[in-house]
A = this chain, B = another copy of it.
Amino acid sequence: MAQSVTLFEDTPLELVLGGMLSPINIAYQTYGTLNADKSNAVLLCHALTGDAEPYYAAPADKGWWQDFIGSGLAFDTDKYFFICSNVLGGCKGTTGPASINPMTNQPYGSQFPVITVQDIVRVQKALIDYLEIPHLKAVVGGSFGGMQATQWAIYYPDFVDNIVNLCSSLTLSAEAIGFNHVMRQAIINDPNFNGGDYYQGMAPDNGLKIARMLGMLTYRTDIQLAKAFGRETKQHTEVWGDYFQVESYLSYQGIKFLDRFDANSYLRLLRALDLYDPTLGFENEQAALSRIKANYTLVGVTSDQLFKQVDLHKSKQQLENSGVPVDFYEFHSNFGHDAFLVDYAFFEEMIKKGLAK
């Protein structure tokens, strides 16, 4: 069970693209022990559909970084004090579209504002301040979490020693925005969506299921799906319906997702992914990126179909053009984009190095 704190009660958060939120509940979890001089704190930033608990103590459940966190592991709980919080706009304990709007006593729904990575990071900073942590040894994130890590180094250059950005680029590609667009349309066109105000009735489950299935295809690789399913068909099945095993797998993933995610949150966070631009609020790219003082580690997977290598290479170049040296690693993994969640053997050393600088 994640911990929780309510902030922005007296002073609302003014959102970067307009609007404000007050109060903001933040779900978070910590692992390891903060040392006496408070110099070993590391913030973990979750990806699009993650939550505040990358590791569950209960043996039956698995957190999204379950195998990465522990004594002697990539995220070494003997050395560091890890903090992870659910993002603003999410649906896992932090204020989001399904939360009660204190002005109406109804869920925000369609009234929830547009959220950016910048807003998410400012809420994380408020949590770190509340925890009385004066400095972060590192901010680490994969995918959407990597964008948060980058923004930390831009907003709070003296506060962070190390950034570790996994499978993510400075901005999202046109193609990836395109996939997000298709996912959004699937949700918005669901007959239950009702402009986002569906909390009194049926949720737009079919739309969210379709979106999740498409998302899964961009997180995986053709090689992995060929190995796992190939062209195998289900037994005793009709040609219409889930005839191939890969269809059955996707449908299962889509349905499983409905239990743990809210369509409005998914829409808001997808849009934050599209919109992320480190330049926002600064005169130009150079003005934003040159603020970074942290050591910057960037790790890419050559088979990543969502954050393609051409975009990671471009990000490396942009950072270096602004005077930010980048420790850049790339490797092949059949897991593609999801490698940062599952391919421990590859990431262990780079994460350890990136944290320890």
Chain A residues in the interface with B (C-beta under 8 A):
17, 114, 171-179, 181-182, 185-186, 189-191, 206-207, 209-210, 213-214, 216-217, 220-223, 225-226, 228-231, 239-240, 242-247, 250-251, 271, 274-275, 277, 308, 310-311
The answer, among B206, B246, B308, for a CB contact under 8 Å with A174, is B246
Q: Do residues A178 and B217 form an inter-chain contact, with CB atoms below 8 A?
A: yes
Chain B positions within 8 Å of A242 at CB level: 181
Assuming A175-B225, A175-B226, what are 12 further A-B pairs, CB within 8 angstroms? A171-B231, A174-B226, A174-B245, A174-B246, A175-B217, A175-B222, A175-B246, A177-B246, A178-B247, A179-B217, A191-B191, A222-B311
Q: Do residues A174 and B210 form an inter-chain contact, with CB atoms below 8 A?
A: no
Q: Do residues A239 and B174 form an inter-chain contact, with CB atoms below 8 A?
A: no
What are 30 contact pairs spanning A and B, CB under 8 A? A114-B240, A171-B231, A173-B225, A173-B226, A174-B222, A174-B226, A174-B228, A174-B229, A174-B230, A175-B226, A175-B246, A177-B231, A178-B213, A178-B216, A178-B225, A178-B246, A178-B250, A181-B213, A181-B242, A181-B246, A181-B250, A181-B251, A182-B213, A185-B209, A186-B186, A189-B206, A189-B207, A222-B311, A226-B310, A231-B277
This chain's copy number in the assembly: 2
- In angstroms, how far is the closest chain B Cβ from the Cβ of A286? 17
What is the bound-complex CA distance between A223 and B239, given in angstroms? 36
Chain B positions within 8 Å of A247 at CB level: 177-178, 181
Q: Do residues A185 and B210 form an inter-chain contact, with CB atoms below 8 A?
A: yes
What is the bound-complex CA distance between A223 and B175, given in angstroms? 8
Chain B positions within 8 Å of A220 at CB level: 175
Q: Do residues A174 and B207 form an inter-chain contact, with CB atoms below 8 A?
A: no
Chain B positions within 8 Å of A221 at CB level: 175
Q: Do residues A222 and B173 form an inter-chain contact, with CB atoms below 8 A?
A: yes
Q: Do residues B239 and A17 form an inter-chain contact, with CB atoms below 8 A?
A: yes
- In angstroms, how far is the closest chain B Cβ from the Cβ of A72? 37
Report the nearest B residue to A207, measured CB to CB.
B189
Chain B positions within 8 Å of A226 at CB level: 173-175, 310
Chain B positions within 8 Å of A277 at CB level: 231
Chain B positions within 8 Å of A217 at CB level: 175, 178-179, 182
The answer, among B171, B239, B251, for a CB contact under 8 Å with A275, is B239
Chain B positions within 8 Å of A308 at CB level: 222
Among A209, A231, A251, the one with the most B-chain Cβ atoms within 10 Å of its Cβ is A231
Among A174, A242, A247, A250, the one with the most B-chain Cβ atoms within 10 Å of its Cβ is A174
Chain B positions within 8 Å of A177 at CB level: 231, 244, 246-247
The answer, among B178, B210, B230, B240, for a CB contact under 8 Å with A182, is B210
Chain B positions within 8 Å of A176 at CB level: 222
Report the nearest B residue to A242, measured CB to CB.
B181
Chain B positions within 8 Å of A171 at CB level: 231
Q: A114-B239, A182-B250, A275-B239 are in contact. Are A174 and B213 (CB under 8 A)?
A: no
Chain B positions within 8 Å of A179 at CB level: 214, 217
What is the bound-complex CA distance between A274 and B239, given in angstroms? 10
What is the bound-complex CA distance between A163 and B215, given in angstroms? 37
- In angstroms, how far is the closest chain B Cβ from the Cβ of A114? 5
Among A181, A216, A245, A247, the one with the most B-chain Cβ atoms within 10 Å of its Cβ is A181
Report the nearest B residue to A247, measured CB to CB.
B181
- In angstroms, how far is the closest chain B Cβ from the Cβ of A179? 6
Q: A182-B214, A182-B217, A217-B175 are in contact. Are A310 and B190 (CB under 8 A)?
A: no
